[in-house]
């Protein structure tokens, strides 16, 4: 964990540990399949095992980590089939949310998206993978929340949480960051023109490119000698 003790701690120790673990996973510091060594982590964060265990249980409920009896906690791994299923469900749910958002578009939403997009582009140019992942999420959820459907938003957030460990793998490569910037700009243009179909189409392409790239990553990780 990098400079964790230098950060301003949230209200509770458990929340501090939870945020540090989530940051390590979403930044790629902890990769899918990595074991989370609790003793070393507790010492590094200067916390007891109790808040660490509570944070790990919370992340397990989100699907970001898994617990194996007698072995401990590991960053969750997804199969290609899992990933494709999650992105297909996202497509179905997000399409509904985006269509509703375009039709109601609360005042200030597009301006907020433009501001977040500037953050996405700065992070992309700087090669700041955690920063890009965070700004990308704010961009998408600002649009999704404009649907005015909080239960739908929560369902979509659960799906996003389950693939957070893979987002850093996608943004680690410059062409993928550039592709995401281009697609976000196209979505913004569609929203500015009130073009519901174009917004949906560009977001479909955005997800499809991510799945295609991650399919290659998972195939490489599997290796030639693995089934």
Tell me the average confidence (pLDDT) per consecutive run of 10 residues in the chain, 227 residues long.
48 85 83 90 89 91 88 89 93 98 96 97 93 94 98 95 84 92 97 96 95 80 48
Residue pair 177/124 in contact by the 8 Å Cβ criterion:
yes
Q: Which string of DSSP letters, residue by residue, matches 131-165? A: HHHHHHHHHHHHHHHTT--HHHHHHHHHHHHHTHH
pTM: 0.81
Q: Give the pLDDT of residue 227.
A: 44
Q: Which two tokens stand for residue 7?
A: 């950060």
d(CA 35, CA 117) in angstroms, rounded, equals 34
């Amino acid at each position: 964990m990098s400079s964790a003790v230098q950060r301003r701690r949230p209200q509770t120790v458990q929340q501090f540990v939870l945020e540090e673990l989530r940051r390590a996973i979403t930044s790629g510091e902890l990769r899918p399949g990595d074991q989370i060594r609790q003793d070393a982590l507790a010492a590094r964060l200067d916390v007891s095992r109790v808040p660490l265990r509570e944070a790990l249980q919370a992340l397990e409920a989100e699907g970001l980590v898994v617990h194996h009896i007698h072995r401990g906690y590991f960053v969750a791994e997804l199969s290609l089939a899992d990933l494709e299923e999650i992105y297909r469900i996202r497509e179905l749910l997000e399409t509904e949310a985006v269509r509703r958002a375009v039709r109601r578009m609360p005042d200030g939403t597009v301006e907020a998206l433009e501001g977040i997009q500037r953050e996405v582009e700065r992070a992309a140019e700087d090669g700041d993978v955690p920063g890009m992942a965070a700004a990308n999420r704010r961009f998408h959820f600002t649009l999704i929340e404009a649907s005015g459907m909080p239960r739908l938003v929560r369902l979509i957030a659960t799906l996003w949480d389950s693939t957070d460990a893979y987002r850093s793998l996608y943004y680690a490569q410059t062409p993928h960051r550039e592709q995401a910037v281009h697609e976000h700009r196209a979505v913004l243009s569609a929203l500015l023109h009130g073009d519901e179909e174009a917004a949906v189409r560009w977001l479909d392409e955005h997800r499809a490119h991510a799945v295609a790239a991650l399919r290659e990553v998972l195939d490489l990780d599997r290796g030639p000698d693995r089934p």
